[in-house]
Copies of this chain bind each other. A is one copy, B any other.
Amino acid sequence: MNYSIGEFSKKCGLSIDTLRYYEKLEIIRSNRDENNRRYYTDDDFKWASFVIRIKKTGMSIKNIQTYSRLRREGTGTVPDRLQLLFDQLKSLHVQQHEIDDNIEFVENKIQYYTGLNAPLENDDKSKEV
């Protein structure tokens, strides 16, 4: 099954402009028909789905670009790709702890404002934050 850029855009959820942008960055490449129009295959869809999913994890476009290049270079680059994934995983674990901290902070602030706890900063209401 082949898809025009419009069809593929609807299928994968990326805008037409984003697809062209990713192609310029060599992240999601397309094929061309006899009129120079892009078309995409089901394999392209699988790859696009992965790109979208890894992007959702917060991987930067630059790293996704690197990952895409490595993938094009073949199976010999699997260790390099794994490194990118490990880096991403590390970053996610860091974020996870930061989020926990942030939740604690905002909850404390809310408790301060709702008066369930003693004030956290000072007693001068005119200077409260």
Contact = CB atoms under 8 A, between A and B. Distances in A.
Contacts of A100: 96
Interface of A: 43, 46-47, 50, 53-54, 56-58, 71, 75, 78, 81-82, 85-86, 88-89, 92-93, 95-96, 98-100, 102-103, 105-107, 109-110, 113-114, 121-122, 125-129
The number of times this chain is found in the oligomer is 2
B81 A113 contact: yes
B85 A129 contact: no
Nearest to A47: B129
A106 B85 contact: yes
A56 B54 CA distance: 24
10 contacts: A50-B121, A54-B109, A57-B105, A71-B129, A78-B113, A85-B110, A85-B113, A96-B96, A96-B100, A96-B103
